Amino acid sequence: MAAPSDEELIAEYLRAPAADRARQVVDELFRRHRARVIAWCYRLTGDRDGAADLAQDVFVKAYSSLRLFRRDSKFTTWLYVIARNRCRDDARARAARRREAPADEIVEMPSELNEALGALEVRDARHVVRTLMDDVLDETERRVMTLHYGHEMRLDAITAALGLTNASGAKAYIVSAKRKLTAAVKRWKMKS
């Protein structure tokens, strides 16, 4: 007979069985997903040493919230959301502690892109940047740029999360994207 699904186990847990059985159920969920959650935490942060720490936090949160799980979505998605939020909080806390971007985050911007963007109001720049990104960047470049600047993810984390296999990972996509954006800005300035 096939093993019960995660959702079936949680349904059993929610039927308030005896404490021993409830413990078996959550222990089974832990055994099923611990490797996966460690992998996720590593991919979301790029931090080999911190992944287990974060996974522990994820399980603490998951087990304390298990009764809030809505069974219309997958348990693994629910668990991922907890991991994503925890890893994002961790990244923000680290950034706040450092009060500066880590060395690998600094990617020199081509000066023409600097000048063009710097001369715009933020609201206009938002529109221009998005339009140009749609026009000239490929899908991976758009995602890397958005994750780095929009979601404030470290480059090594983006490399791990998206499974980028080129030598310099996400950084190469940022450099390439900015080069393309610079050329696009030139054309845009000539038109306007």
Partner 1 sequence: MEDEVLRAALAPTRECLAVEALGRYADGALGADQQRAADRHVRGCLACQAELALLHGVTSSRLRDDEAEVIRAGVSRLEQRSAEIFDDRASASAPRGWAGAVRFPRAAVAAVLLLAIATGSFFVLRTRTTPALPGTVTTGNEVTRSLAVMVRGPVGEQTGVPLRLEWVAVERAARYRVRLLEVDRVELWSASTASLSVDLPPHVRTAIVPGRTLLWDVTAYDAAGAAIAESGTQSFKVGPR
Q: Does 152 bind partner 1 (CB under 8 A)?
A: yes
Distance in Å, CB of 78 to partner 1, minimum: 7
Q: Does 23 bind partner 1 (CB under 8 A)?
A: yes
Maximum C-alpha span of the chain? 73
Binding pattern for the stretch 155-184 against partner 1, x by CB under 8 A and - elsewhere: ------xxx---------------------
- Tokens representing residue 106 in the block: 């600094």
- With residues binned 3-state (H G I as helix, E B as strand, rest as coil), the percentages for the chain, rounded to 5, are 75, 0, 25
Distance in Å, CB of 183 to partner 1, minimum: 16
C-alpha to C-alpha distance for 161 and 176, rounded to whole angstroms:
19
Q: Does 13 bind partner 1 (CB under 8 A)?
A: yes
Within positions 32 to 61, which residues make up the interface with partner 1, using CB under 8 A? 32-36, 38-40, 42-44, 48, 51-53, 55-56, 59-60
Distance in Å, CB of 185 to partner 1, minimum: 11
Binding pattern for the stretch 86-125 against partner 1, x by CB under 8 A and - elsewhere: -----------------------x---xx--xx-x-x--x
C-alpha to C-alpha distance for 185 and 163, rounded to whole angstroms:
30
C-alpha to C-alpha distance for 162 and 138, rounded to whole angstroms:
15
Contact 156, 44 (CB under 8 A): no
